[in-house]
Structure 1
């Protein structure tokens, strides 16, 4: 079998590893438009469940990923609104962070060791694909050229979020997954921060559009914007600097998150993988995990089906089904932040508890104080737990149907 993968991100590289492990005779070439080692994104997060799956699929790369990851089990929230400067800490599930550069380096080295051909700094236009490839994998991200060429067939839909965000780094190493909420004269601005190694942490800063414009971030150049953000988050950064993109890469510092979905994930011998197939809001920290799970599912489908159409159909069905609850959680998580004033003035421990419940389809429909009390009671009463499990999916399905309804 001859496989061409367009895009050398985590999904494409991991798929090439799994396919080579299944059948060393498979001829695989990965084409990546950027030079080797030139990725952007600081660190990525994942949870224990992904590490267990990586061990089951390729123990060698799993060991390297775990060895180069940092871990935490606490969440910390800081709230500063002039009258208050409060901090609360909660113990939670074990989380991991790894530098994106490091993750890609591990996967690339493993793929090469197995005999995968990697072509960096090679822009593969759709019309230049090898004509003798049995399978073409579109792992080229949100702006996938392969998917865009046939967007009508795939049923591609892209929805922009309301808030603005910037993906930054810092030399400060956080020992917990940290949230910081700061009130300004123009509204709230907040940061999600997590370590990814001894060299630093990722800081994602977000705010509503009126806050973004009111603070002048819409007009500031990168240096001016970073200076303002360092002042706003001085208590969080402890004298450390924020780090932006390298100058001259042509990409804007501030973005609005785009949620991408596709009705169909393959056409003939072309199949979508990772961000080319779907995106989920960064606030649930699942992007890299979902991309790697796509690779696992596609490799498994190709192993388990004699025909390529059968394998691709099974892959699409499996992943679309698995993503339903995650995409719903991501939508509600994004909406929690878009409606931050609804929750931010609660006592910090209550606000943080509802921050942890932001994926719930019930939360937007119940007054926050009442939801907090009900959630505490649910932990003690089986009948309420059953009611919550029953109501949640019904509300989620209704909301999803409204979102898809023609306007």
Structure 2
């Protein structure tokens, strides 16, 4: 089969690897518009389960990704002048540049052609292939050629955000919430290498304009943010991302969905098919899982269209809970003032519960008390199972109620 992957991000490169491993006779080309070694962004996050999954499909690339990643096992929140820590949140960070380098090198060794500085424009004909994979991102030119067929829908979030780098190497996944006279502004920080970290800053549009960030040049904007987040940054500078206009960009996150994921020999992959809010840190994981599912469907079905239908069906079902979690997570931040009156420890606890569909409908203090009561009940039930019937009967008499 002749396959053209348009877009050299994680989804397209990993799909090319999996298809070549399935059948070395596949003729596969990855077309990437940027030069070799050039990419946007800083670090990306993933969780332990992803490495296990990748190891089952290509152990060599999985080992290289794991060895190039940093790990954290705690979350830290700075709320006003208070610092609170939650242990046990294990996650991983890797530089986007390093991740793409690993996947591109592996693909090339397997015989995939990777053509850099080759852009497929919206008005141009797609590459001649049995299967064309649109993995060219949220603004996919291939998808937009048939937007009516795919039923593309994009919904912009209310908040503004900017993706920055920093020389601060975070040892834990770090949140910082700062109250200004114009409203709240916050950041997420995480490490991805020995010398760099990622810092995503977010705030409401009103706070953004009130702080003058809507009209500040890059240097002045970064200076404002460095002052606001001096404590979690430990005095380290923030680093912007260069664009054509020479500045890092503030954006509204766009949640993108499609009614259909394929048309004849064209199929959507990764951000071209769907996006989920960055606050759940799942974008790269979902892109790689898309590639696994598409390769699996193509290997299992004899007919191309049957394989594409299977891929769409499986991935749409798998995405439903993730998209729901992402939607509630984004709404939690969009309604941040609802939670800022809580004691810092409780606010941080509800930050961890932001994916809950129940939380927006209950007073935060009530939800917190109910959640703690349920947690205590679960602990006692577990003890009763382990300690046996005699001790369990004693514990039963002391089972707490929500009033406790």
| TM-score normalised by structure 2 residue count | 0.92
> CA-to-partner distance for each residue in 1:281-340, whole Å, 9 max, x for gaps?
000000000000000000000000000010000000000000001000000000000110
Residue of structure 2 in register with 1:164 after alignment = 160
Tell me the secondary structure at the aligned position of residue 61 of structure 1: helix
Q: Comparing 340-349 with 64-73, which one deviates more in the overlay?
A: 340-349
Q: In structure 1, what is the Cα distance between the partners aligned to 2:136 and 2:359?
A: 35
1:199 aligns with 2:195: yes
Residue of structure 2 in register with 1:14 after alignment = 14
Q: In structure 2, what is the Cα distance between the partners aligned to 1:30 and 1:192?
A: 33
Offset at 1:183? 0.5
Tell me the secondary structure at the aligned position of residue 85 of structure 2: strand
Residue of structure 2 in register with 1:396 after alignment = none
Residue of structure 1 in register with 2:32 after alignment = 32
> CA-to-partner distance for each residue in 1:218-265, whole Å, 9 max, x for gaps?
110111100111111111111210000125356761000000000000
Structure label with greater radius of gyration = 2
1:138 aligns with 2:134: yes
- Residue ranges of structure 1 left out of the alignment (5+ in a row): 386-407
Which among 306, 310, 314 is matched to residue 306 of structure 2?
A: 310
> CA-to-partner distance for each residue in 1:145-200, whole Å, 9 max, x for gaps?
00011000000000000000010000010000000000101000000000000021
Q: In structure 1, what is the Cα distance between the partners aligned to 2:352 and 2:324?
A: 15
1:44 aligns with 2:44: yes
Tell me the secondary structure at the aligned position of residue 162 of structure 1: coil
The 5 A counterparts of 1:27-106 are 27-80=27-80, 85-106=81-102
Q: In structure 1, what is the Cα distance between the partners aligned to 2:257 and 2:283?
A: 14
Q: In structure 1, what is the Cα distance between the partners aligned to 2:168 and 2:127?
A: 46
Tell me the secondary structure at the aligned position of residue 279 of structure 1: coil
Q: In structure 2, what is the Cα distance between the partners aligned to 1:319 and 1:292?
A: 12
Residue of structure 2 in register with 1:118 after alignment = 114
Offset at 1:344? 1.5
Q: In structure 1, what is the Cα distance between the partners aligned to 2:155 and 2:64?
A: 36
Tell me the secondary structure at the aligned position of residue 346 of structure 1: coil
Extract structure 1 runs of 4+ deviating beyond 6 A: none
Which among 109, 129, 132 is matched to residue 126 of structure 2?
A: 129
Q: 1:330 to 1:105 in 2, by over 3 A?
A: same
Tell me the secondary structure at the aligned position of residue 256 of structure 1: coil
Number of residues of Structure 1 aligned to a counterpart in Structure 2: 380
Which among 335, 338, 356 is matched to residue 342 of structure 1?
A: 338
- Residue ranges of structure 2 left out of the alignment (5+ in a row): 382-404
Which among 181, 184, 187 is matched to residue 180 of structure 2?
A: 184
> CA-to-partner distance for each residue in 1:333-364, whole Å, 9 max, x for gaps?
00000110111221111111100000000000
Q: In structure 2, what is the Cα distance between the partners aligned to 1:56 and 1:331?
A: 30
Supply the RMSD in Å over aligned alpha carbons. 1.5
Q: In structure 2, what is the Cα distance between the partners aligned to 1:239 and 1:250?
A: 24
Which among 236, 246, 251 is matched to residue 240 of structure 1?
A: 236
The 5 A counterparts of 1:208-357 are 208-246=204-242, 248=244, 253-357=249-353
1:107 aligns with 2:103: yes
| TM-score normalised by structure 1 residue count | 0.91
Q: In structure 2, what is the Cα distance between the partners aligned to 1:280 and 1:123?
A: 25
Q: In structure 2, what is the Cα distance between the partners aligned to 1:240 and 1:374?
A: 40
Q: Comparing 354-363 with 337-346, which one deviates more in the overlay?
A: 337-346
Q: 1:166 to 1:130 in 2, by over 3 A?
A: closer
